A and B are shown apart, each in its own frame.
Chain A
Amino acid sequence: MTAKPVTITVDGESVRTESGRSVAAALTLEQQRTAWRSTRFNQEPRGLFCGIGACFDCLITVDGTPGLRGCMVQVEDGMSVETDKS
């Protein structure tokens, strides 16, 4: 493994991770977060579930585009990530 260091911002906070990570994995591994979204009706916390793009539980805003699947977006240096619940 010779992944390169990558820095993203999550809700304005600088987070160091590495190339090849998904956004969901960066939140999970670097921030120990398991949830970054609230459900519409019960305001329940949600994060990764299916992990392969089928369930849409891990939705997140990346560089201003909302509603992207965190498990399907790969981190890039300087990427700005916004969660549903900062």
Chain B
Amino acid sequence: MTGGVQEAEAAPAEVFDVAVVGAGPAGLAAAGEAAAAGCSVLLVDAGTQFGGQYWRHAAPEAEDTDPGRWHHGWSIYQRLTQRVRDAVDVGRIRHLASTHVVSVRREQAGGDGAEGFLLQASLLPEAQKPGSYQAPQLLQARALILCPGTYDRQLPVPGWTLPGVMAAGGVQAFIKTQGAAPGRRVVLAGTGPFLLSAAASVIHAGAEVAAICESNSLTGWFPGGAAAALVPSKAAEGAGYVALLAKHRVPYYRSTAVTAIHGDAAREGAVRSVTVSALDASGTPVPGSGREVNDVDVVGLGWGFVPQPELLLQLGAQTTLDEDGSLVGVADADQSSSIPRLYLAGEITGVAGAAAAVAEGRIAGRAASSSVGQAVRAGVADIQDRATRAAHRRFASVMQKAHPIPEGWTQWLEDETLICRCEEVPWETARAAAEELSAEEPRGLKGSTRIGMGWCQGRMCGFAAQCLSKKAHVGEGGASSGREAEHAAALSAAKRPLAVPMRLGDLAEEPELTQE
């Protein structure tokens, strides 16, 4: 034991110039750029492979010779990963796969006296090999770029806990990694262009799309059509989906929501049908408009995406509420957060898609490199990245305005509909608690109902909880305080002690600084 301590003093732990969390579009771009600038880079990613959610693909063991067929921008992915792999090969980037950054704090790092970051990284339990347990490790970096990405945003609906009901992104992830659809006949519902992308994947996998239910009327796209037209790749992608869906005669319903999902008692309650209802202009189900779509075995639900804010919140960086109601980090023109040497790239600054994420990642990679003394020449590429970011942000803004969450979504809930899947908290309990909430106590919903306290730590029900808390607060002040109340509700819903659930044994253990 004593020997170990002395050894630690004799050999100071390596301090990376830049740590990048996440290896999706933004993280790959950021790491590649920082390495090219001459930085030593730590790239920590929960995935077993590069690509994040957007470029999620089959495991090498599947020996898929053409993973690009499921993807947009696969050649961009290949370029980004080749650059990162080359840097890994020469020791410029250290890549930790299947690893979560559980916690992060600011701490003095390196010899220049400036503050850096101390990351606690933990191998996923699923990646631990029996008999050779790998304990969490502490890693140091002078600058940090967070590219944590998103997961699907959910709204509860009666029957959404039945087997066969999945996140729309989960349906697509299944297809991209397994090369097969998780079912035979799929309904996709929620809002946003991602439903079209998921439908295209289902069709390419050889399954049927029984219906797409888009809750919005899409008239919201027209005032901003000019911004959409400025992004030809998006227009082409959209046109491709429309042609594919038309060819396969996929019913596409606007101003429509899945308002109930029904299971088959003989098959463990697995999905058999859905009720779809028309929504009025305020996003409330029209009574009596419901009709059944039968012979369905998979339902994919998606109401946009939730940027993962845990590490951002642990560091106390400034946040704001995006147009779509997402809690996002505030970043300046160089992707710098409110905290020195903390940079943000990709969906954590607002959901805007992969092209914007790559541009932001590259900008952040250069800015982080400059911050640790690696001079970067800002050339034509930088101008291009900034233009790409601007165009895609404008597009995202139009998209978010065109796809709001239906105001009346709670109308389709039944008393026994679970709001929190993990802790099995029904709507009647959540509603009663929300009505009693006070603005002075934004965490009340969680405390009084256990909503968000289960395995997923509110990742699935967090947005619903945020909406319910906001509703409780609105009316206690003017419009601006309503927005502030929603921001407060979003912060309280997202507040988690650790970025991912950990084993208690890992929490008890004090990890040592990783030696190089």
Contacts and interface: CB of A to CB of B under 8 A. Distances in A.
Interface of A: 1-4, 18-22, 25, 28-29, 34-35, 39-42, 44-57, 59, 63-65, 67-69, 71-74
A32 to B, nearest CB: 9
A52 B59 contact: no
B178 A22 contact: yes
A52 B169 CA distance: 8
A50 B455 CA distance: 13
Interface string B166-183: 110111011001111010
Contact of B170 (A20, A52, A59): A52
25 contacts: A1-B179, A3-B61, A4-B61, A4-B63, A19-B63, A20-B62, A25-B178, A28-B174, A29-B178, A34-B268, A35-B268, A45-B270, A46-B421, A49-B460, A50-B152, A50-B167, A50-B460, A51-B167, A52-B151, A52-B173, A54-B151, A55-B455, A68-B125, A69-B126, A72-B126
B494 to A, nearest CB: 13
B292 interface: no
Nearest to A35: B163
A1 B64 CA distance: 5
Interface of B: 46, 48, 53, 56, 58-65, 124-126, 128, 130, 151-152, 161, 163-167, 169-171, 173-174, 177-180, 182, 267-271, 297, 421-422, 424, 454-456, 459-460, 501
Contact of B424 (A4, A25, A40, A56): A40
A34 B165 CA distance: 9
A23 to B, nearest CB: 9
Given A50-B152, A73-B126, A2 B174 contact: no
B126 A55 contact: no
B151 A50 contact: yes
B459 A55 contact: yes
A56 B297 CA distance: 21
A41 B424 CA distance: 7
A32 B447 CA distance: 39
A56 B270 contact: no
A34 B459 contact: no
A29 B460 contact: no
Contacts of B268: 34-35, 45
B59 to A, nearest CB: 4
Contacts of A18: 62
A34 B164 contact: yes
The DSSP consensus for interface residues of chain B is loop
A24 B230 CA distance: 41
Nearest to A48: B166
A72 B124 contact: yes
B270 A34 contact: yes
A80 B45 CA distance: 27
Given A53-B124, A74-B59, 18 more contacts: A4-B61, A19-B61, A20-B61, A20-B63, A21-B62, A25-B180, A25-B182, A29-B178, A34-B267, A35-B163, A41-B424, A46-B163, A49-B421, A50-B152, A51-B170, A55-B459, A69-B126, A72-B124
Contacts of A69: 126
A42 B59 contact: no
Given A49-B421, A49-B460, A65-B130, A25 B501 contact: no
A39 B424 contact: yes
B125 A54 contact: no
B217 to A, nearest CB: 28
B456 A56 contact: yes
A56 B454 CA distance: 9
B173 A65 contact: no
Given A47-B163, A49-B167, A73-B126, A57 B269 contact: no
B456 A55 contact: yes
Nearest to A85: B268
B130 A64 contact: yes
A29 B269 contact: no
Nearest to A34: B163
A52 B177 CA distance: 11
A20 to B, nearest CB: 3
A24 B183 CA distance: 13
A8 to B, nearest CB: 13
A56 to B, nearest CB: 4
Contact of B177 (A22, A34, A56): A22
A47 B269 CA distance: 12
Nearest to B426: A42
Contact of B460 (A34, A54, A59): A54
A20 B169 contact: no
B174 A25 contact: yes
A51 B173 contact: yes
Nearest to A57: B421
Contacts of A73: 126
